[in-house]
Amino acid sequence: MSSLFSSTITLGKELKVTDAEFGQLRDFIYAQCGIYVADNRKYLLENRLANRLKQLNLKNFSEYYYYLQYDAGRREELNRLFEVITTNETSFYRNPPQLQVFQEQILTDVLDSLRKSGQKKLRIWSAGCSTGEEPYTLAMIIADVLKGELPTWDVRITANDLSERVLESARRGVYNEYTLRSTPKDVLARHFVKQDSFYAVRPELKKLILYHQINLSDAAQIKRVERSQIVFCRNVIIYFDDEMKKKVIGAFYDNLLPGGYLIIGHSESLHNISRAFKPIHYPGAIIYKKEG
Ligand SMILES: C[S@@+](CC[C@H](N)C(=O)[O-])C[C@H]1O[C@@H](n2cnc3c(N)ncnc32)[C@H](O)[C@@H]1O
């Protein structure tokens, strides 16, 4: 925090973003990843990027915009820009009522129909997984539901995010106590190995998850994700405008197998976005079903 503050002061007036530059950058960011940077985040963007411009020896935001489009380092810079504009907040067992519905209703229903069909192949997609807390939580719930039966199942959670940096941390799977604050004690004991003051996810669970980078605004990348029975996309679409929300939710619909479920964040809604799903109301959660 203090370094951001001091860098803006040292750099002085020339590193202020003009309205025109902000508009250019905003359009560029939207075209790249579907995130719409609202007017009230202009100064945040300016503060967070000032240091970057200094490191790159750029005189103003127009030069930065040019760099993002034409410089040999533009791909790497785009990743850095994504890190600046995304919010990666997450935690294990985030929103317990929703996860209880997942465990007791949704997962049970999906596992039962898979057992009946004789195809014990479970596919879950965690879209916008940040540092991995969500997909690991899902893996832990699945392991606790299937218990000794787990090795007889083919289970895969596809987890992806826009930011390579958060994915690296997800692949490591080592966490501090703060992000585990809502995790039941017995889960902590069962699924983690304590390493000094940190907790490492057990390797048996790590291998259920496949992490890779995906930009949800890239239709071709989304199409390559294996089809799933359940899609989790929580606390991600809040950063998108309606047009982008419609695109992404439509892509989840296409990815889901008939009878599959979409689980979005507690404060998010598909109102005015999609009528394709059937909303099912449970105490503490609304889950969206693809009928079929
Ligand atoms: C607030 S976190 C949510 C993490 C987790 N799903 C949860 O609910 O705890 C939002 C994540 O969405 C990712 N994200 C934002 N826009 C994205 C896009 N266009 N493609 C892929 N991931 C994106 C961000 O990088 C960030 O890690």
If you measure from the C-alpha of residue 162 to the centroid of ligand 1, how many angstroms do you get, rounded to a whole number?
7
Single pTM value for the model: 0.93
Residues 6 or more apart in contact with residue 49 via CB below 8 angstroms: 17, 61, 64, 81, 84
Ligand 1, residue 265: give the atom nearest the CA: 8
- In this structure, the answer to whether residues 143 and 66 fall within a common structural domain is no
Backbone angles phi, psi at 210, to 5 degrees: -115, 115
Return the best residue to mutate from 86, 166, 230, 241 for the ligand 1 pocket (most ligand atoms within 8 A of CB): 86
Q: What spacing in Å lies between the alpha carbon of 15 and ligand 1's midpoint?
A: 29
Q: Do 170 and 67 lie in a common domain?
A: no
Per-residue pLDDT of the chain (292 residues; tens, 9 = 90+): 333 443 444 444 568 999 999 999 999 999 999 999 999 999 989 999 999 999 999 999 999 999 999 999 999 999 999 999 999 999 999 999 999 999 999 999 999 999 999 999 999 999 999 999 999 999 999 999 999 999 999 999 999 999 999 999 999 999 999 999 999 999 999 999 999 999 999 999 999 999 999 999 999 999 999 999 999 999 999 999 999 999 999 999 999 999 999 999 999 999 999 999 999 999 999 999 999 7
In this structure, which residue's CA is closest to atom 10 in ligand 1?
236
Q: Do the domain assignments include residue 36? A: yes
Pick from 162, 166, 264 the residue to mutate for probing ligand 1's pocket: most ligand atoms within 8 Å of its CB. 162
**CATH assignment of the domain containing 34:** 1.10.155.10
Q: Is residue 268 part of a domain?
A: yes
* Domain boundary, last residue among 51, 85, 119: 85
Residue 234: domain span:
96-289
Please say which residue of 38, 53, 85 terminates a domain: 85
Total domain count, the chain: 2
Q: Tell whether ligand 1 has an atom less than 6 A from the beta carbon of residue 236.
A: yes
Q: Let me know whether 136 and 249 are in one domain.
A: yes
Separation of CA 161 and ligand 1 centre (Å): 6
Q: What is the CATH number of the domain that holds 120?
A: 3.40.50.150
Boundary residue ending a domain (44, 62, 85) = 85
Do 76 and 106 lie in one domain? The reply is no
- Residue at 118 is within a domain: yes
Same domain, yes or no: 253 and 131: yes
Classify residue 90: in a domain, yes or no.
no
Tell me if 78 CB under 6 Å of ligand 1. no
DSSP 136-204: HHHHHHHHHHHGGGGGGSEEEEEEEES-HHHHHHHHHTEE-TGGGTTS-HHHHHHHEEEETTEEEE-HH
Residues 19 and 121 in one domain: no
Residues 171 and 219 in one domain: yes
Q: In whole angstroms, give the CA distance from residue 102 to residue 130.
A: 20
Query: Which residue, by CA, sits nearest to atom 11 of ligand 1?
Result: 128
